[in-house]
Chains A and B, each alone.
Chain A
Amino acid sequence: MIEPWQDPLMQRAFLEVLLLGIAGGALGCWVIQYELSYSAESLAHAILPGLVLSALTGLPLLLGGAAGLLVAALAVALAGRVPEIGRDTAVAVVVTGMLGLGVLLALSPESPPRLQDLLFGDVLGVSDTDLALAGALVVGALLALYLLHARLLAVGFDRLTAPALGVRPVVVDAALLVLLAVVLLVAVQGLGNLLVISILIAPATAARMVGRRMAPMMVGSAAVAVVGGIAGLYVSYHAETAAGASITAALVVLALGATGLRAVLRVTLSRPRSI
């Protein structure tokens, strides 16, 4: 049972999953409540060209990913200003273009030999530096979520009335997107470009199925993310499957389980509404 955790690679992977689970789980609840799941997935895909360029040039992946995000955000903002295109189409066009560019770069003769690490992550290959950086960013993200909590609630509850309460929705939205970008940048190194979204959405979906308040949902979501991450690593070790994909599979199973539990609870504990 404890054999896998005696391996230094698995120990570092465990710490990475712990950090990503806490930050991704907590932030994912806001991503779902603000209906930003599609935006989160789009941002994750937009990182790919930057990651490939980093791998080609030997720069830190974090730097390349951040540059990719910046370019994608600017492109979406510019394309969204064209009335005939619209924001939704602009996001789709830009993200598809960025993903295509990333694949094109990755398939070039000079591409790094382990492209799949960028697409599917390499949680077993994280270094001590990666862990330290992830730790610092996760602490920062959690502190920001703590301070923003009341304002995030006010905007999410009633965006139109929030200014009358002294809260500017555009500032809160921007802060949430910055946090999302930070967590994606950190998590993409462990879980990869295609699977990173799972650590945000699946645990939060599970928590939403059984939670009634944001704070407990955030705690529950983080717990689900950590448990799913550990379960995925465990399965990966014994079944010799890809770690990132195993973690994603475990998270999705937990989300489906919570959805089923919710359905059962709804049938058995349905309460009449007061009038």
Chain B
Amino acid sequence: MSAPLLAVHGVSAGYRPVPAPPVLADLDFAVDAGRRVAVLGPNGGGKTTLFRILLGDLAPREGTVDVGRTAVVPQTERSRLDFPVSALDVALMGAISRLPWWRRPGRAERAQAREALVAVGLGDHVDRTFGDLSGGQRQRVLVARALVQDAPVILLDEPFSGLDSASTALLEDVLTALVGEGRTLLIATHDVEQARRWDDLVLCLNQRQVAFGGPSLLTREVLEQTYGSEIVDIDCAEHGHERAVLPPHHCDHDHR
């Protein structure tokens, strides 16, 4: 049996000053290659802190983290939309980490970046200015950048936030293809229904690891521990089941 691609054991982490309590504790999970993990939790629940730990940006106070090369797909709002770069320029940034400081990305890296853009369905938008693309297209450009990094583990920070149904479907197709290639995705999301539909793994965080496993563990009790008393019951008959227990901001989203 092969070792998991990502293993986190007994990890807690926090920010300075050190005597302050950890913002995330009791992390203990392992993920094999080719899995999709929905990371659920309220704002401030520790999703970003987990990503910083996995990227090596924040050292854990306790425990061990065993993860290979990892790429991150941030929310597009964090990028400067007025910056004069094309989709190809952004995808090409993924090649920098593999190059020595004195080398610029060359022909081979440009070809790889073009291939990555084709893989995310943006082969016709290579030369478009990043800021002129739609939100869904921008998100796929950032996925292409992660592909150029050639990382087996990709972290996605609320990639569906603000996307319409069509863009969400396109992005989901891209992510499904990546999982099919054997990459492991950790996707921060507030969409519990989406996590259930993926039918893979869920990791619930609320300043500690509340639960980790299959979507069947997304019970009312677990969601209450994850989101506190803020969860609401809404009628979801149109989606094939009578009621769902969801975090409150989910009501603002499209059901996807």
Q: How far is the CB of B42 from chain A (nearest CB, A)?
A: 21
B241 contacts A by Cβ under 8 Å: no
**B-to-A contact residues, CB < 8 Å:** 55, 57, 70-72, 74, 78-80, 83-86, 89-90, 92-99, 101-102, 104-105, 129-130, 132-134, 137, 145, 149, 164
A212 to B83, CA, bound (A): 9
- Inter-chain pairs besides A149-B104, A275-B134, 15 sampled, C-beta below 8 Å: A146-B104, A150-B99, A153-B85, A153-B93, A158-B79, A158-B80, A161-B72, A164-B57, A165-B93, A165-B96, A165-B97, A166-B97, A167-B96, A212-B84, A213-B86
Q: Are B85 and A164 in contact (CB under 8 A)?
A: no
Contacts of B72 in A (CB 8 A): 161, 164
Q: Are B96 and A163 in contact (CB under 8 A)?
A: no
Q: Are B96 and A154 in contact (CB under 8 A)?
A: yes
A161 to B84, CA, bound (A): 17
Which partner residue on chain B sits nearest A157 by CB separation? Answer: B83
Q: Are B78 and A150 in contact (CB under 8 A)?
A: no
Contacts of A149 in B (CB 8 A): 104
Contacts of A166 in B (CB 8 A): 96-98
A49 to B96, CA, bound (A): 41
Q: Are A164 and B55 in contact (CB under 8 A)?
A: yes
Q: Are A156 and B80 in contact (CB under 8 A)?
A: yes
A214 to B129, CA, bound (A): 11
Which partner residue on chain A sits nearest B55 by CB separation? Answer: A164
Which partner residue on chain B sits nearest A156 by CB separation? Answer: B83
Q: Which chain A residues numbered 252 to 275 have a C-beta less than 8 Å away from chain B?
A: 273-275
Total contacts A to B, CB within 8 angstroms? 77
Q: How far is the CB of A170 from chain B (nearest CB, A)?
A: 14
Shortest 6 CB-CB contacts between residues of A and residues of B: A166-B97, A158-B79, A154-B93, A164-B72, A157-B83, A161-B74
Q: Which chain A residues numbered 49 to 108 have a C-beta less than 8 Å away from chain B?
A: none
Contacts of A156 in B (CB 8 A): 80, 83
Contacts of B99 in A (CB 8 A): 150
**A-to-B contact residues, CB < 8 Å:** 33, 146-147, 149-151, 153-154, 156-158, 160-161, 163-167, 208, 211-214, 217, 273-275
CB within 8 Å for A157 and B57 given contacts A149-B104, A212-B129, A273-B132: no
CB within 8 Å for A150 and B55 given contacts A33-B84, A164-B72: no
Q: How far is the CB of B103 from chain A (nearest CB, A)?
A: 8
CB within 8 Å for A157 and B85 given contacts A146-B104, A151-B96, A164-B72: yes
Q: Are A147 and B104 in contact (CB under 8 A)?
A: yes
Q: How far is the CB of A151 from chain B (nearest CB, A)?
A: 6
Contacts of A275 in B (CB 8 A): 134, 164
Among B55, B93, B94, chain A packs the most CB atoms within 10 A around the CB of B93
Between-chain CB contacts (< 8 Å), 13 pairs:
A147-B104, A149-B104, A156-B80, A157-B79, A157-B93, A158-B74, A161-B74, A161-B78, A166-B97, A212-B84, A213-B84, A214-B84, A275-B164
Q: How far is the CB of A153 from chain B (nearest CB, A)?
A: 6
A208 to B82, CA, bound (A): 11
Contacts of A146 in B (CB 8 A): 104
Which partner residue on chain A sits nearest B105 by CB separation? Answer: A150
Contacts of A167 in B (CB 8 A): 96-97
Q: How far is the CB of A176 from chain B (nearest CB, A)?
A: 15
A217 to B86, CA, bound (A): 13
A211 to B101, CA, bound (A): 27
Q: How far is the CB of A100 from chain B (nearest CB, A)?
A: 36
CB within 8 Å for A153 and B89 given contacts A160-B74, A212-B129, A217-B84: yes
Contacts of B71 in A (CB 8 A): 164
